[in-house]
Each structure stands twice: as C-alpha cells, then as structure tokens.
Amino acid sequence: MNIGEFNAAIMKYIYNIISYGIKLLKVKGLPSFGSFKVALADVLTVTTVLQLATFFEYPPVIIEELGTAASAGLLMIRYMEERGQIQPTSILTLLSALKKMCLSGTGDRVKKLYEEHTGRLCSSDGQSKAQNEEGDPGYGKSTLTLQAAYDWCLGNVALPLKTVAVFILLPLRLLGNISSIFEAIRLVLMPPESPLTDDDILEILRHSLSVVIVLDGYDEYPDRNSVKETDVMKMIAGKMFPNVKVVVSTRSSSLPTYLHSTTVTIRLTGFDEKSRDEYIKRTVTGGDQEASRRITNALNSSPILNDICQVPMFCVLFAHVANDQRGVIEFSSVTSFFKYVIDCFYSHMWRERS
Ligand SMILES: Nc1ncnc2c1ncn2[C@@H]1O[C@H](COP(=O)(O)OP(=O)(O)OP(=O)(O)O)[C@@H](O)[C@H]1O
Ligand SMILES: [Mg+2]
C-alpha cells in the first residue's frame, strides 16, 4: 500500500467511525459511569475503604458504618459521589488520594476501569489536556502522528489510544484560510458528498467521552501569524473544546507562543544506537543478521555519518541505500553518501519522465 492509499484508508475509516459515532449517540446513549461504579465496588476492599474514609476525614459515625456494611465498596462509592470525590467527568480526587496513600497499584486499576467503562481519558497528573511534540526536521513528528492514527484504526488494545473514541489527524499545512475547525475536518477527512453538518460534528466532539485531535506541523500552518484567531489557534490555547485532548507537532524553531499553561512538551531527539540497530534489523534487512552487521559496520566506520544518522530520516535513507549495495558499502564520507543519494534521485526522476 502506498502512502496515498494508506491516508485514504485512514480517512475512510475515520469517516465511518464518525458516522457510526452519530448513530451510537442517537441509538445507544453514552458509555456508562454506572457500570464503572459497579466495577469499582469490586476493587475497593473493606481495608481500602476504611483507609480512604480516614484520608477524606469522614465523620467517625460514617467510618463505623462503612466498617460493618454488607458492601463497603458500594456504600463508599455513594459517599464519594455525594461529596464530588468521584464524578462522571472526573475521578481525579480519588486517584490523587490513592496515590498519596501509597496505593498506586489500586489507583492504576481504578484508572483503567474508569477509562474502559466511560471511554474518557484521565491523565495521571490530572491537568494536561494538551501536548506539544517538538523536534527538528526529519526527526519523525509526522511519522509518529501517522503511526498513532494507524494504531488507533487497527484498535490495538495494547496501546494507550485504545480508549479513545474519536481520533482526528489534521495536517496544518492544508488549512490555510480555513478558520473553522468543522470546515477543516470536512476538508481533510470527509468525502465531498458527506451529509454531516457542522452541528453533527459538534455533537460528536462535545458528546464523545474521549476525543484526540492531532494538529501536525504547526510550523507549516499558513495562518500561524494571522491576527485573526482561528479555531486551530483557539484549540492550541485551550480555549475551545476543553474536553478534547489536543496534540500539536511542530519544529522546535516554530513553537506556538500561546500554548496553554498546562501543556506537556515532548521533544523528539532522534534514533539512539539501539533504535537504529532495531530499525535496520526489523525493517531494512528483515532479520538477516549478516546484512544488518554490514550496514551497522559501515555506519560505525564513519563518525560523521554515524552522527547524522541520529536523524531518523537520514538513518532510513542510509540504511536502505546501503542495503541495496549488495557488495562492499563504499561510503567513507558524508559527501560520497549524499552524492550517491542525489544520483539515485536523478536517475529515478529521468526514469519517471521517460
Ligand atoms: N520512527 C521512525 N521510524 C522509521 N522511519 C522514520 C521514523 N521517524 C522518521 N522516519 C523517516 O524519516 C522521514 C521523515 O520523517 P517525518 O516526516 O516524520 O519528519 P518530521 O519531523 O515530520 O519533519 P518535518 O519537520 O519536516 O515535518 C519519514 O518519511 C520516515 O521515512
Ligand atoms: Mg512533518
């Protein structure tokens, strides 16, 4: 499958999910906080309940009642709900209490149950709704976002996106002069004949319990210096859709100046030796140990080549080119490597044209 077909497949899938989402909202209703409470009751043992009640400074009479109740867990849940310590939209008070009581194992189980039953993500620090992913050119920002979209489409249950109901990936370079996020979603993700209106999309974004919107390539966003605030800017600043998790990727030289104060920043720093070798083994040589050794030896024999191959794009380029050279790998310098690559591009271009 080439990248065009891959993108088209993702878009079709997302379109189907969104259409299905509407039906789900209309027919079945929202995922259930009620079923989470039932599952939570099983996790809360009498000992945990009594520790929690003491931590929350419940009156002695309630603590006594909890100690003798037939189902201490269910009763505790009722008291926590009455006091706002657990709510359909957040259980952070409970999670933070469990952490402070050194019951992190229980906390992890409760968090997992909440996410599974309600479809809502709860970040462990309880604050961040935004994530900024920065890195220099060719360090893999767009690759990471595409991989995330692909994993989400496959519904890989071992990955953190498994509880995300709606995942939207928007390449910002396509969104010049488009100030509405609804128009952007329609333009990038939907076929022209789609019957979905702005209101339909708004309904999905408002009511789906966990939505992730990835804005890829802020440095390439044509309106980033515009005086008129676009929806993209509002989302990055945390002013729009507070329930949506927003991930922005950008080159380090073009960080948005108006990031929300709770934004978590992740910096991509390239391939270390281990990930480089793993990439060569898994993707380039298909496990052929002799071929992998030849490529890594060639890399290691030139300190400068080795250095530039920390950039994933160059590493990928070098590894594939070196793998094609079946005999001795002859790149003793960076110049000879790039000369070879440019020769390849040229002959490819002429072949395409003829
Ligand atoms: N983790 C990775 N695994 C395999 N290949 C990668 C990885 N990261 C990057 N690459 C390769 O490097 C190329 C460039 O990566 P990508 O386009 O993701 O960089 P970028 O950080 O988005 O750059 P830019 O700032 O120019 O947008 C990809 O097409 C891919 O071939
Ligand atoms: Mg990119």
Report pLDDT digits (tens) over 262-291.
Answer: 788 889 999 999 999 999 999 999 888 998
Burial label, 289 (beta-carbon count in 10 A; 0-12, 13-18, 19+): exposed
Q: How far is the CA of 25 from the centre of ligand 2 (A)?
A: 34
Query: Quick one: 143 and 254 in the same domain?
Result: yes
Question: pLDDT higher for 163 or 145?
Answer: 145
How far apart CA 5 and CA 186 sit, in angstroms, is 19
Q: How far is CA 354 from the centre of its chain?
A: 42
Percent of the chain scoring above 70 in pLDDT:
86
Q: How far is the CA of 151 from the centre of ligand 1 (A)?
A: 17
Q: How confident is the model at residue 316 (pLDDT cuts 50, 70, 90)?
A: very high
Among 16, 1, 24, 20, smallest CA distance to 191 is for 16
Query: Quick one: 150 and 114 in the same domain?
Result: no
Query: Quick one: 197 and 228 in the same domain?
Result: yes
The tokens for 179 are 């100030």
Residue span of the structural domain in which 40 resides: 33-118
Record the pTM. 0.67
Mean pLDDT, residues 73-89 taken together: 89
What's the domain count of the chain? 3
Mean pLDDT, residues 136-162 taken together: 86
Four-CA torsion 75, 77, 78, 79, nearest 10 degrees: 90
Query: Quick one: 134 and 226 in the same domain?
Result: yes
| pLDDT at site 329 | 63
Query: Quick one: 227 and 328 in the same domain?
Result: no
How far apart CA 79 and CA 53 sit, in angstroms, is 9
Mean pLDDT, residues 214-240 taken together: 93
Query: Quick one: 136 and 258 in the same domain?
Result: yes
Closest ligand 1 atom to residue 146 Cα is 18
Q: Note the pLDDT tens digit of each residue in 14-46.
A: 444 444 443 433 333 345 888 999 999 999 999
Q: How far is the CA of 209 from the centre of ligand 2 (A)?
A: 29
Contact 46 CB / ligand 1 (< 6 Å): no
Q: Which residues of 250-283 are buried (b: 16+ CB within 10 A; e: fewer)?
A: bbeeeebeebbeebeeeebebbeeeebbeebbee
Contact 135 CB / ligand 1 (< 6 Å): yes
| pLDDT at site 131 | 82
| pLDDT at site 27 | 35
